[in-house]
A and B are shown apart, each in its own frame.
Chain A
Amino acid sequence: MNIFQVSSKNLLRRKLRTFFTVFGIMLSTWVLVTLLGFNKGYEQSLSNSIDGMGFQIVLTAKGCPYEAATLMLKGGTGLRYMPEDLVRDVASRPEVLQATAMLMHAEFDPNKGENGGTTVFLGVDPKTYPSMKPYLQFKQGAWFADDAKDEIVLGYEAAELEQREVGDLMILPGSEVEYKVVGILSRTGTQDDGMIYLPLTATQKVFKKEGELTMLGIRLKPSVDQNAFEESLYQLPDVQVVSMAQVKNTIMSLVSSAKAIVMSIAFIAFLIAMFGVLNTVLMSVFERFQEIGILKSMGALPKDIFKMILIETTLLCAIGGLFGIVIAYGFSGLSEAAIRYFLPFAPTGSLIIIDTFIVVFSFISITLIGLIGGIYPAWRASHIRPLDSIRSE
C-alpha cells in the first residue's frame, strides 16, 4: 500500500468530516468561479454594448455632450447645430468608410403632463443609418422608404407609450401633419428603445432646421490612423469630437473600481477555503496523534508523514474545487438571473462567462491555497514524537 492509498483511506474513514470539508471548498470555489466569470462577462457585455452603438467617432456641435445628456435625463432644450455643408464635407473624406448624419430635436409638447413636457425626435438618413446600426431589428415593419416621406419609426418603448403599431398615424406636437408609423423596432435595452425616428430631410423641414445637423456618426476604414483623423477634425470650427474608444476606456476604468471590490470578495473566498482546510486537517492530525506515533515507531519517516497529510489536503481541495467548478458552471444561468434581479442596471449579453482560463486558474489556485493551509498541520504531524504519542491518552 503506497502513501496515496493510505491518505485516501484516511479521508474515507471520516466520511462526514471529509464531506463537509469538500462541501466548504466547493462553496468557496463556486463563489470564486462565479465572481471571476462575472468580472469577465460584465466587462465583455459592456464593451460589446458600446461597440454595438455602431460609431467609432461622433462629431457634434461644441457643448453638445452636456446638452444631449441634459436633454435625455432632464428634458432640457437648446441643442446646438452644425452646418450641413461641413458635415457632408467630413462624411465624404477618403478616410471615412461609413458616415451618417443625424438631427436631434426636442419639441415642447403642451399636452404632456400638467404643464407640458419635451419629446425628443431623431432625424436619420434611411440610406446610411440602418447599416451603421445593424443590431436594430424590427418587431413590425421597416425603415422609411424615402428620406423626405412623412413616415415614422418608433423604438419599442416609444411605441408602447404612444400605443402605436405599423399603419397607425401620429402627429407631432404643435402640428396637424399626419405621419404614418412604418416600423416598430424590437427591444435593444439601449436608448434606441425610447427614440422616435423621422426621415432626416423631413425632420429638417418640419422643425425648420434646414441646412443644420446635430451629429455625424463615423466609421473609419481599417487602415486609417484614428488619432490622426480625430486631430484633423479638431481643426474644424465649433465642433466637438467624441471618440468611442476614449469613452470606452473611461467607462472601463470606472468599471475597474467595481472589479477591485469583486476581486476582494474572491480573495475572501480564498481565505475561507484555506482556513477551512487548515482547521479540518489540523483536527484530523490531533485526533490521529497516537496513530501517527505508531506509524513512526514502525519506521515511517517525518517526510512520509508530511507527504501523507499533504496528499490528504490536496485530495480534499482538488475534489472540492472540481465540484465547485461544475456547480458554478451548471448554475451560472441562475446566478446571472439573480445578479440581474439585484443590479439596478445591467448591460445586455451574458453577464457570467466561465472560460477555460477561469476554470484552470480556479482549480489550480484553490488547490494551491489548500496546500498552503495544509503545510502547518503536515509539519505538526511530521514532528510528533512516537513515545510521546503512544503514552498520551
Chain B
Amino acid sequence: MKTKVWAFFLLFIVSCQGWAAVGCDLNDPDRDVKRLFPSSTGYKTAYQSIEKSGGQALLKEVEALLGDEFQGLYETIDVPYTIYTIYKGSDIIGYIHGINQKGVYGGLQVFLGVDHKGVITRFYYQKLTSKKAALMRENDFAQQFIGLSWEDFKSYLPKTHEGGSEKVKQIKNPNVDDAADFYSTLRAVKKNLILMQVFVFENKERAQ
C-alpha cells in the first residue's frame, strides 16, 4: 500500500508539466469570491494574456499607460491573467483580478474587486512577504483604495512615485520604515486597473 502511495505521488510529480508562465489565481475561488462579493450568486472565469489579446503592440500600449517597462524574468508578455466576472442572478455586479508584483522580500499578489464601472470595491493581498506584512494587511490600508478607479491612477508614475489624483496622493504607507513594498503595491494596483481596462472594459465598449 505504501509503495502504491509513493507510486501515485511520484507519477503525479514526474508527470506534471507546467511550462506556461505563472498567473495569479484566487487560492479558493468559491470561497474568495463570496468573501469579496458577499451578494454574488455565481462567477465565470476567463483567462487572458497580453500576447493573445494584442501581442507586442498591446504590450507597448500597456507599458505606456503604466509609465514603466515590464521588468525581470517574470513580468512577460505571456503571463496568463485570470478575470473573475461576478454575477448576482444574471446581472454582472463586478470583477476580480489579481497580478503578481515583485516585492522587497518576495512576490506580492494584489487582487482588486471592482464594480461594473471599474471602481475598486475591494483590495486584497493574497500573498505578501514583508517584515511589516501585518501593517500592510491592515484593513485601514486596504480601505484607502476603495472608491478609486483607473481615472485616479491614470497620471500616477510608478517610476517617480508622483502624480495620480488627490485621492491617490493621500494613500498613506503603513510602513514608515520602508516605502519599497508600498510603491510596489501602487504599481501593482495601477497595472491591475490597466489590464482590467484592456481585458474587460474596452472589450465591453467595443461590443456595445
Residues of A in contact with B (beta carbons under 8 Å apart): 46, 49-50, 53, 65-66, 68-69, 72-73, 110-114, 117, 139-140, 157, 159-165, 169-171, 176, 178, 184, 187, 189-191, 193, 240, 242, 246-247, 250-251, 254, 340, 345-348
In the bound complex, do residue B19 and residue A187 qualify as a contact, i.e. CB atoms below 8 Å apart? yes
> Which of A65, A161, A345 lies in contact with B2, CB distance below 8 A?
A65
In the bound complex, do residue A190 and residue B22 qualify as a contact, i.e. CB atoms below 8 Å apart? no
CA distance A30 to B130 in the complex (A): 57
Determine the residue in chain A with the shortest Cβ distance to B79. A160
In the bound complex, do residue B105 and residue A340 qualify as a contact, i.e. CB atoms below 8 Å apart? no
Task: Tell me whether B185 is interfacial, beta carbon within 8 Å.
Answer: no
Q: A111-B129, A163-B103, A171-B129 are in contact. Are A247 and B16 (CB under 8 A)?
A: no
In the bound complex, do residue B74 and residue A160 qualify as a contact, i.e. CB atoms below 8 Å apart? yes
Task: Tell me whether B49 is interfacial, beta carbon within 8 Å.
Answer: no
Binds A, one of B52-60, B120-128, B139-147, B195-203: B120-128
Residue from the set A53, A184, A187, A250 with the largest chain B CB neighbour count within 10 Å: A250
In the bound complex, do residue B9 and residue A111 qualify as a contact, i.e. CB atoms below 8 Å apart? no
Residue from the set B35, B101, B106 with the largest chain A CB neighbour count within 10 Å: B106
Determine the residue in chain A with the shortest Cβ distance to B19. A187
CA distance A242 to B5 in the complex (A): 11
Q: A169-B104, A169-B105, A247-B7 are in contact. Are A113 and B13 (CB under 8 A)?
A: no
Q: B177-202 CB contact bits vs A (8 Å, 1 = yes)?
A: 00000000000000000000000000
> Which of A178, A193, A247 lies in contact with B10, CB distance below 8 A?
A247
Main secondary structure of the interface of B (DSSP, over half): mixed
Determine the residue in chain B with the shortest Cβ distance to A345. B15
CB neighbours (8 Å) of B107 from chain A are 161-164
Task: Tell me whether B160 is interfacial, beta carbon within 8 Å.
Answer: no
Main secondary structure of the interface of A (DSSP, over half): mixed
Task: Tell me whether B72 is interfacial, beta carbon within 8 Å.
Answer: yes
In the bound complex, do residue A163 and residue B106 qualify as a contact, i.e. CB atoms below 8 Å apart? yes
CB neighbours (8 Å) of B32 from chain A are 114
CB neighbours (8 Å) of A139 from chain B are 73
In the bound complex, do residue A171 and residue B27 qualify as a contact, i.e. CB atoms below 8 Å apart? no
Q: Within the complex, what minimum Cβ distance (angstroms) separates A133 from chain B? A: 13
CB neighbours (8 Å) of A176 from chain B are 131
Q: Within the complex, what minimum Cβ distance (angstroms) separates A176 from chain B? A: 5
In the bound complex, do residue A72 and residue B18 qualify as a contact, i.e. CB atoms below 8 Å apart? no
Task: Tell me whether B137 is interfacial, beta carbon within 8 Å.
Answer: yes
CA distance A50 to B13 in the complex (A): 10
Q: A111-B133, A170-B129 are in contact. Are A163 and B74 (CB under 8 A)?
A: yes
* In the complex, the 3 A-B pairs of residues with the closest C-beta atoms, listed nearest first: A345-B15, A250-B7, A163-B107
- Known contacts A50-B10, A189-B19; 11 additional CB pairs below 8 A are A46-B14, A111-B127, A114-B126, A139-B73, A159-B74, A160-B21, A160-B100, A162-B106, A163-B102, A163-B107, A254-B8
Within 8 A of A (CB), among B86-106: 100-106
In the bound complex, do residue B100 and residue A161 qualify as a contact, i.e. CB atoms below 8 Å apart? yes
Task: Tell me whether B11 is interfacial, beta carbon within 8 Å.
Answer: yes
Task: Tell me whether B17 is interfacial, beta carbon within 8 Å.
Answer: yes
Q: Within the complex, what minimum Cβ distance (angstroms) separates A93 from chain B? A: 23
Task: Tell me whether B4 is interfacial, beta carbon within 8 Å.
Answer: yes
In the bound complex, do residue A65 and residue B5 qualify as a contact, i.e. CB atoms below 8 Å apart? yes
CA distance A184 to B73 in the complex (A): 11
What are 13 A-B contacts defined by CB distance under 8 Å?
A46-B14, A49-B14, A53-B14, A65-B6, A65-B9, A66-B2, A72-B9, A111-B130, A163-B106, A171-B131, A242-B2, A254-B8, A254-B11
CA distance A354 to B65 in the complex (A): 52
CB neighbours (8 Å) of A159 from chain B are 73-74
> Which of A113, A171, A242 lies in contact with B126, CB distance below 8 A?
A113
CB neighbours (8 Å) of A191 from chain B are 13, 16
In the bound complex, do residue B16 and residue A345 qualify as a contact, i.e. CB atoms below 8 Å apart? yes
Task: Tell me whether B170 is interfacial, beta carbon within 8 Å.
Answer: no
In the bound complex, do residue A69 and residue B9 qualify as a contact, i.e. CB atoms below 8 Å apart? yes
In the bound complex, do residue A113 and residue B105 qualify as a contact, i.e. CB atoms below 8 Å apart? no
CA distance A276 to B18 in the complex (A): 42
